[in-house]
Amino acid sequence: MNLENKTETENHAHERVKKRSETFQIARKNTIKTLLLVGLSFTMCWSVNAIIFLLHNLGFDVYDRSFNYSWKSILTQMAPIMVFLNLMINPLIYLIKYPDYQRAFTKTYLCWLRTGEKHSEQSGSSSGSASTVLP
């Protein structure tokens, strides 16, 4: 009887280790996919700026500040837009990929909405001043 209990305990421990290993593998794959998405978005968003900078340092005239829709003008205008786009894409990637990030975002957003409602109530009852008081 004691031998059977020991075997059951060993089997149970083996199953827990196997399940933990499977969970670790899933988390690892998810992390790798997320890093690839972040790296790809970084490369795409910063490549225009890097190419313009490289061409400029090689002596090419790439900075055309006129708005005549030439390729130089379009590249010069798109470079900072793409860089700022990268700042917006990263949180969206995490928001899509991770449930914990989704919960934290929802909690923060709801708190922000409630705080905004309090501010609008306070500003409506005030004498026209635009002061904001945080709770």
More confident residue, 48 or 9: 48
C-alpha span between 55 and 46 (Å, rounded):
14
Q: Tell me, yes or no, whether 60 lies in a domain.
A: yes
Query: Structural domain tally of the chain?
Result: 1
Q: Tell me, yes or no, whether 134 lies in a domain.
A: no
* Res 26 pLDDT > 80: yes
Q: Tell me, yes or no, whether 133 lies in a domain.
A: no
Rounded to 5°, the CA angle 26-30-31 comes to 115
Q: Which band of pLDDT confidence, cut at 50, 70 and 90, is reported for residue 135? A: very low
- Residue-wise pLDDT tens digits, 42-93: 999 999 889 888 888 888 877 766 666 676 777 788 888 999 999 999 889 9
Q: Tell me, yes or no, whether 130 lies in a domain.
A: no
pLDDT at 35: 93
pLDDT at 82: 92
* Res 25 pLDDT > 70: yes
Q: What is the percent of the chain where pLDDT is above 70?
A: 74
Q: Tell me, yes or no, whether 128 lies in a domain.
A: no
C-alpha span between 72 and 90 (Å, rounded):
28
Q: Tell me, yes or no, whether 8 lies in a domain.
A: yes
Domain hosting residue 64, numbered range: 2-122
Which of 29, 34, 40 is closest to 94 using CA atoms?
34
